[in-house]
Amino acid sequence: MATPTVADLNKQMWDEALTRLLDLSTVTIKRNAELEARVTELEVELSVWKQAHTNVLEAAERDKKTHNARVATLNKQLSSGLFKNQNPLVLCVIDGDANVFNPSLIAEGHKGGRLAAQELTKGIAEFLAQEEVQVFGRLSFWVTVYLHKRGLLSMLQSENICSADQFEAFITGLSQASPRFSIVDVGPGDGADVKIKEYLQTYISLPQTLRVFFGGGQDGSYGTTFAAIEKDDSLGKIVLLHGANGPSENLQQLSLPIMQTEGLFMTNVPGYAQRRPSHIPLSGFNNNVMSESGLISPQSEPQSSAPSPTSRATYGKRLIDPTKPLHKQNPPPCNEHYLMTCTKGVNCKYSHDWLLTSEQLEVLAKNAKKAPCNYLKNGVDCPYGDRCCWGHVCPGGARCFHLSKGKCWFKGEDMHPPLSAQDY
């Protein structure tokens, strides 16, 4: 065999060196790509954590405002000598056109009306218990629903929800559930708004009024009324009902407590049902007020007895910059607005104006699940349940690296479920 020449040896050495350099270059490029992907992932997580942190701070600020409003209201009640002379009133007023009761309840007629009354009463009682409201004397509870019966029935029939007899029976059952439950037919136009505003201004000012649970519409027409109530140091008496679509944004920014009403109201009310339908002639239909009486004495004795993210996103006015991920938009889209319900209104630091595609909504939802739900994190049942956009379970599960170091943000009980047999 011929002995390799020096030139051949040199060529072989160079070939081997170049091969090693190419291999090293390939490994380096691959590693850089992995690191860049990891950096992008960490930036997304950091953005989600920042928003979660901001939400915690804003929630604390809202709680502080609510507490201060309650203190101001309580001081006013104490100075008036309320607890010495009067039994406290708890009132509930509902715009029945904007907050249509659950179709399944309406279809049950009289029984459904009584069930609706029971669910509403139970929800308010539980809310007061959670707030640890101190009641002096006998509590007097009143419910008033203002609606346009003919217009509402027309909508329900057009949606094949119920018949006229079922609707009439439901209204009767709701009204007869208690002598303190009143259903008032205001006719077409803005009658409900006008009457509810007058109702609020009148009863909020009474010193014996402990709470008013308010279920209004989305038109934002109550701004002036609530401004006057706030000026009178009586805002702490109001609790907003989360009806068909939740409180309007101008009310959300008042930092008032919100009572959830899961299953009580229709979640997707047709738009024309909330626009005060004009007079619709229906032959043989009873148009009378369905209430026990006109002005009812507070001392009378008691008697026993969710818009989808996609539709919300279409209201956006701005297009996402496709060269940037969602968390780097200026400002980033609000998780709660697009995936759930944002209660911060105009005070929210994140944008409600982006026009998001279904794919972008999926990315937003996936990223939001990387941050823990503050309710579960603090050991409280989440009122939103499966509709909550935040994580109820740590993405790392029982094998979470941060959990082993005691640094995982998912601190709530059951947020790290044990491994199943198939996971081993």
DSSP letters spanning 204-266: HTSTTEEEEEEE--SS-TTHHHHHHHHHTT-GGGEEEEE-SS-S-HHHHTTT--EEE-TTTB-
* The pair of three-digit structure tokens given for residue 279, joined into one six-digit string: 């007079």
CB within 8 Å of 139: residues ≥ 6 apart = 87, 88, 90, 210
* The pair of three-digit structure tokens given for residue 421, joined into one six-digit string: 């047999």
Q: pLDDT at position 273, please?
A: 46
Report domain extents, the chain.
Answer: 89-260, 318-405
CA-based radius of gyration for the chain: 29
Q: Which residue has the higher pLDDT, 185 or 343?
A: 185
Look at residue 279 and tell me whether its pLDDT is greater than 70.
no
Q: H or E segment at 51?
A: helix 6-79
Q: Cβ distance 93 to 215 under 8 Å?
A: yes
Instruction: Please give the Cα distance from 144 to 199 (Å, whole number).
Output: 10
Instruction: Please give the Cα distance from 102 to 244 (Å, whole number).
Output: 9
The pTM score is 0.50
Can you tell me the mean pLDDT for 34-44? 84
* The pair of three-digit structure tokens given for residue 247, joined into one six-digit string: 């409180």
When pLDDT is cut at 50, 70 and 90, the band that residue 412 belongs to is confident
Instruction: Please give the Cα distance from 355 to 277 (Å, whole number).
Output: 31
Q: Cβ distance 209 to 237 under 8 Å?
A: yes
pLDDT in tens, 232-254: 778 888 898 887 666 766 777 77
